[in-house]
Amino acid sequence: MIADLVSQISTHEAPAQALLAQTFVGPEVNWFALSPMLTLLAGALGMMLVGSLTSTWPKGLYALVASVTAGTAGALAMVQWDDITDNGPTTLVGGAIAFDTLAMFLTITICIGVLLVSMLTDSFLRGTPNEGPEIYALYLVAAIGGIVMASANDLIVLFLGLETLSLALYVLAASNRRSLASAESGIKYFVLGGFASAFFLYGIALLYGAAGTTNITEMVTTFQSEVDLNNPNALALAGLALLIVGLGFKVAAAPFHVWTPDVYQGAPSPVTAFMASVGKAAAFAAMLRVLVTALPFFRDDWRPVIWVLAVLSLLVGSFLAVVQTDVKRMLAYSSVTHAGFLLVGVEAAGHTAGELDPGDGMSSVALYLMLYSVLVIGMIGVVTIVSRAAGNRDGDSSLDSFKGLAKRRPALALGFTVLLLAGAGVPVTSGFIAKFGVIQAAVEVESYALAVIAMVAAVVAAFMYLRIMVNMWLAPPEEGAIEADIAGTGILINLSSGLAIAASVVFTLFVGVFPSWLIDAAETVNVIAR
Amino acid sequence: MAPLTEMMMAGLVAAEDSHGGAIAFPILTMLVLVPIVGAVAVAISSKRRPEIAKLIALMTSVGVGAMSIWLLSSFEMGEAGFQFSSQHTWIEQWGISYHVGVDGISLFLVVLTGVLFPLAIVGIDPHHDEKPYLAWLLMLEAGVMGSFLSLDLFLFFIFFEIVLVPMYFLIGGWGYENRVYAATKFFLYTMFGSAFMLVGLIATAMLAREDLGRLTFDLVEIAEGANFAASTGRWLFFAFAIAFAVKVPIFPLHTWLPDAHTQAPTAGSVVLAGVMLKLGTYGFLRFGLYLFPEAAVWSRSLWLTLAVIGIIYGAIAATMQKDLKRLVAYSSVAHLGFIILGTFAFTSQAISGSVLQMVNHGVSTGALFLLVGMIYERRKTRQISELGGIQKVAPIFAAGFMIVMLSSIGVPGLNGFIGEYLILLGSFQTARWWTVVATAGVILAALYLLWAYQRVFHGEPDEDNAKFPELRVKEGLVLLPFIAAIVFTGVYPKPLLDRIEPSVDALVEHVVENSDFEHPDYGSQCGNFEADHEGEAAESHSDEPAEHDPADTNCAADKNGAHHDDDDEGEETGE
């Protein structure tokens, strides 16, 4: 990276300034192109600063500020999008950041995630010691980390993004100080996450040893010119293996998934939604950057590994989800299944990685990430509402607490049903479009076995979604539950969470029927900045 | 008066225009859309006034029924291709379009769907939570209609899969004691089949891209333009066939059916037996045979064998049942075996018989489930052993049951006979030994149904059965259309066959052209029959064509002649 900066200086600056080469001259920065990240950063710092200087803000203002910040960042990303489609992709900050549609697509996804999760968090935090700017600031910071991961064009930058996201998530997972489960979840995530980060960093180091650079663009050139087919580059392969371990942990792919159920269950519900949406989107973006963009040369080496990870995730996730009795754990295992589906897309991308016509793998993964993020936030949003009513603030998210939800809150039950059906991949929902895209990408490169395994796993996973639906619609509510709802002590849907869930449901159905525009957008992510 | 007449004339002319054009009014789209709108209207109607929901549901379903009848009346006879087609781009990037159309194969299934739903809505009382029940029923109607009308693989898959959701809730919400188990089993079995189909249909479109030059999921375009290698086509065919085989259901995959049928509420059983099982058999014809003729021919022994096993197994299993509804459910397995037998015989008669039998089975088994539902309403039991002597106390009810049962057995003069006869006649020519075994199924059908009838209706009623109420007027009115259809088709099936035949002929021709299937007597009906060519097939046939004009050299004309023959027989026995 340093070498890159130096070359940047020598090529871009006028010869007269070459004399100044001894003093550090920063690379040229197109500040406006970085505006989504900067907006989020300003929001986070602003909230912390102003929040610490003022007394408690009026109801809902914290969430509103966070939402508006995320919304603005998302809107700015859309503006950048137009710039990219007009002028083609490029790199920023001396080749450290990629400025392409993949980055922007995921930036928008992450911003939507932050926006919806902030809306869910509002009512969750109301009246707790955590009510304040901190949680929201952490969301925004984590989002920056995620965006950096999604748009990194240098493995060190990618690692910075990963750590920014992870550190924020560790704190968020443990943020419910009154709950033991939350503390446990935070510690577990921290220890295992730290371990995974170490793997990841060591992988980068080995790759640096093999390629002599951490910059993705230079790495591709190096491997292209110096590859020796008869003498496989052991250093690079070892680095690749370690990177896959680190990434596998972050995306919660089996067999690196074991932290997922505990952390998802123990973390405060909105944080779970955040991890499942933003966390997953960022991790998969990083995976695409590392494997498909940086190491297409080793695609025949990493593709079988991804194949195995995909199959394991699909089977482990779907079969273990079925036997759970806690809805949050179910959704955790189902997120492993979804990771499996996403890996099917990554595997498909692996067949054509680095070629001029990159196929549909990348775009199907990007599309899946956006659709799944919105979906999962809606799902966990419902769980948040129901579990809070059923038990204490930690929430009782057991399957039983959903009994008779259709009788107690029909609209909520109907919305949840739509989201669950989408999760199962039933047509006319976004979930079907997402699955269809991934399966289509796999079939296109003739990965038939993987496509069939994925679809069969989806059937098993559907059983889990059906179990929740059975409890909602076909089981009678517990005694006194309906009276409690009427009296206002049962399930309470406040405005902002209701809006977030409704938005998720409407988006799910709308994209299910009219997916064209989104597919159009997702297809452009194949063109990557180099 | 003159201007008024003129105006009326103008109106008539205008009406005729829209009639002939058929593009002016998107009738097929309306058939799908109206139930959806109705379902939404029912769902948002006031909870305090359930009669409004009922009224909306009734009006919607009757409207759809009327539209389907109108479709029937304005369907061009003698046309093999798709009519009333409309096509709009939907998801351009993936080559997916909204393409609907109807031909002779799907026409009567659409009409059956249109007519069955209002009867189910009027005739059956869900007992509780009427509003969601009606909404789900209407959603189901939209899904079934859409499946029968879609001419795009993606669109078909969407409807094929979406029908699971309303059916799941209908069985789970309004079914009997074991409903959740049955509903879940139904959902997962069918979804398991669809999993393969989704991969298969994407692969079909992807592989057809080379021949067609662009990615498209359009059924007609792929079937006419794509040229799959034999091994590829076989894999793809099996991916589709698993989904359809589960839906039909074909023998080893049938275990969801008795549970779903028995546990479903009456309306659910009626719709399930009436139209939903036909999604499988229809799928075989529309997508299996049409897209992959070579693979269908290649694997025909398998399907014929499974069909025959289904016929015999279903019949034997039905004989053993103690639960009347389960008995009817197993009889469906047997009947659908006949339909599959006819489908894979690849003769025009057999496939026409299969299409007709799909409708017949929908009518008779639908009516049987309706009647069993009425018995349950009255006696709160479906156990055959607890019933008996009902004929004494409810003779009209018994008479109605008798007619429907006889139609299901396939007694000449009623609709079941025509379908089974055509299937057996057509299959005998190309699948002789299978047909021989299958014919035994007809006898078994008589055995289990007559025996059941005897146990339920004959003898002296005990104390409980002595109070069995007679058929009510409303119930009679619901039953009447079923019986009318049973008798009409049995006596005069020509109007149906005239509409079915051309499309079936075209399909058979397509199969023969695109595979190495040797039609043993493809020419025999045209008079140039060779004695050494499949001798027994000749015998089966020779006593028939002899009766009508032997100078007929036109194949199509001869076929019509052959059907007149069937008609005659039907009339004779009917009298």
CA neighbor of B368 nearest in space, from B244, B266, B234: B266
* Nearest-by-CA chain A residue for B98: A513
> For A142-167, what is the mean pLDDT?
94
Half-sphere exposure of A57 (CA within 13 A, CB side): 20
Q: What residues in A contact B165, CB-CB < 8 Å?
A: 421, 426
DSSP-derived 3-state class of residue A215: strand
Instruction: Please check the confidence at residue A295 and state whether its pLDDT lies above 90.
Output: no
- Confidence band of A357 (pLDDT split at 50, 70, 90): confident
- Give, as one character, the DSSP assignment of residue A152: B
Q: Which pLDDT belongs to residue A20?
A: 52
CA neighbor of B125 nearest in space, from B474, B398, B481, B484: B474
Cα(B537)–Cα(B137) distance, integer angstroms: 46
Task: Test B173 with A473 for CB contact under 8 angstroms.
Answer: yes
Cα(B447)–Cα(B450) distance, integer angstroms: 6
What are the helix and strand counts (H, E) for chain B? 26, 2
B140-164 b/e with 16+ CB inside 10 Å = b? bbbbbbbbbbbbbbbbbbbbbbbbb
Q: Which pLDDT belongs to residue B7?
A: 44
Cross-chain CB nearest to A427 (options B93, B162, B202): B162
Domain segments of chain B: what residues?
Answer: 524-574
Cα(A193)–Cα(B446) distance, integer angstroms: 70
**Three-state SS string across A369-410, please?**
HHHHHHHHHHHHHHHHHHHHHHCCCCCCCEHHHHCCHHHHCH
Cross-chain CB nearest to B161 (options A426, A451, A456): A426
How big is the CA angle at B65 (ends B61 and B69), to the nearest 5 degrees?
A: 170
Average the pLDDT over each of A279-293, A381-395, A440-454 and give the range with the smallest value: A381-395
Cross-chain CB nearest to B91 (options A421, A455, A516): A516
DSSP-derived 3-state class of residue B152: strand
Cα(A436)–Cα(B197) distance, integer angstroms: 12
Cα(B319)–Cα(A92) distance, integer angstroms: 77
Q: Which residues contact B438 (CB under 8 A, 6 or more apart)?
A: B307, B308, B311, B337, B338, B341, B424, B427
Contact criterion met (CB below 8 Å) for A450 and A311 = yes
* Nearest-by-CA chain B residue for A449: B199
- Other beta carbons less than 10 A from residue A84's beta carbon: 20
Q: Which pLDDT belongs to residue A382?
A: 92
Q: How far is B282 from chain A (nearest CA, A)?
A: 20
Give Cα B43 distance to the centre of its chain.
Answer: 29
Residue stretches of chain B with pLDDT short of 50: 1-23, 522-575
DSSP-derived 3-state class of residue B426: helix
Beta bridge partners of B383: B323
* Nearest-by-CA chain A residue for B239: A452
Residue B536 identity (one-letter amino acid): E
DSSP-derived 3-state class of residue B323: strand
Q: Which value does ipTM take for this structure? A: 0.84
Strands (E), A107-185: none
The percent of residues above 90 in pLDDT, for chain A, comes to 49
DSSP-derived 3-state class of residue A111: helix
**Domain ranges, residue A496:** 2-526
Residue A244 identity (one-letter amino acid): I
- Confidence band of A390 (pLDDT split at 50, 70, 90): low
Contact criterion met (CB below 8 Å) for A117 and A139 = yes
CA distances from residue B104 to A155, B42, B156, B498, B502 in whole angstroms, order as listed: 62, 33, 18, 9, 7
Report the domain count for chain A.
1
Cross-chain CB nearest to B199 (options A426, A452, A520): A452
Task: Test B172 with A470 for CB contact under 8 angstroms.
Answer: yes
Cα(A284)–Cα(A305) distance, integer angstroms: 15
The more confidently predicted of residues A391 and B136 is B136
A440/B contact by beta carbon, under 8 A:
yes
DSSP-derived 3-state class of residue A99: strand
What ranges in B458-516 are assigned the alpha helix state H?
A: 473-491, 494-513
> For A216-245, what is the mean pLDDT?
82
* Nearest-by-CA chain B residue for A451: B199
* Nearest-by-CA chain A residue for B91: A516
Cα(A294)–Cα(A214) distance, integer angstroms: 10
Q: What residues in A contact B169, CB-CB < 8 Å?
A: 473
Q: Which residues contact B555 (CB under 8 A, 6 or more apart)?
A: B525, B526
Task: Count CB pairs under 8 A between chains A and B.
Answer: 75
Phi-psi domain of B76 (left: phi exceeds 0; alpha: psi -120 through 50; beta: other):
beta
Q: How far is B310 from chain A (nearest CA, A)?
A: 26
Average the pLDDT over each of A371-380, A453-462, B21-30 and give the range with the smallest value: B21-30
Cα(A73)–Cα(B34) distance, integer angstroms: 42
Q: What residues in B contact A458, CB-CB < 8 Å?
A: 191, 195
Give Cα A37 distance to the centre of its chain.
Answer: 16
A79/B contact by beta carbon, under 8 A:
no
Q: What residues in B contact A421, CB-CB < 8 Å?
A: 165
Cβ contacts of A314-317, under 8 Å, gap ≥ 24: A314/A340, A314/A341, A314/A344, A314/A453, A314/A454, A314/A457, A315/A254, A315/A340, A315/A453, A315/A457, A316/A254, A316/A255, A316/A257, A317/A254, A317/A257, A317/A457, A317/A461
**Count of positions (residues) in chain A:** 530
Strand pairing class (A97-99; B83-91): unpaired
- Other beta carbons less than 10 A from residue B131's beta carbon: 21
Cross-chain CB nearest to A459 (options B91, B162, B191): B191
Cα(B357)–Cα(B423) distance, integer angstroms: 8
Cα(B354)–Cα(B361) distance, integer angstroms: 10
Task: Test A516 with B196 for CB contact under 8 angstroms.
Answer: no
Cα(A64)–Cα(B153) distance, integer angstroms: 45
Q: How far is B253 from chain A (nearest CA, A)?
A: 16
- Give, as one character, the DSSP assignment of residue A325: -
DSSP-derived 3-state class of residue A25: coil
Cα(B139)–Cα(B133) distance, integer angstroms: 10
DSSP-derived 3-state class of residue B102: strand
Mean predicted lDDT score pLDDT of chain A:
87
Task: Test A466 with B184 for CB contact under 8 angstroms.
Answer: yes
Q: How far is B227 from chain A (nearest CA, A)?
A: 18
Task: Test A448 with B192 for CB contact under 8 angstroms.
Answer: no
* Residue of B45, B89, B92, B93 to mutate, interface with A, max A Cβ within 10 Å: B93
**DSSP letter string, A197-208:** HHHHHHHHHHHH
* Residue of A314, A357, A440 to mutate, interface with B, max B Cβ within 10 Å: A440
A449/B contact by beta carbon, under 8 A:
no
State the DSSP H helix or E strand holding residue B83, giving kind and residue range, or none if neither. Answer: strand B83-91
- Confidence band of A316 (pLDDT split at 50, 70, 90): very high
* Nearest-by-CA chain B residue for A469: B169
Which residues on chain B place their C-beta less than 8 Å from a C-beta of chain A? 90-94, 157-159, 161-162, 164-165, 168-169, 172-173, 179-180, 184, 187-188, 191-192, 195-196, 198-199, 202-203, 206
A515/B contact by beta carbon, under 8 A:
yes
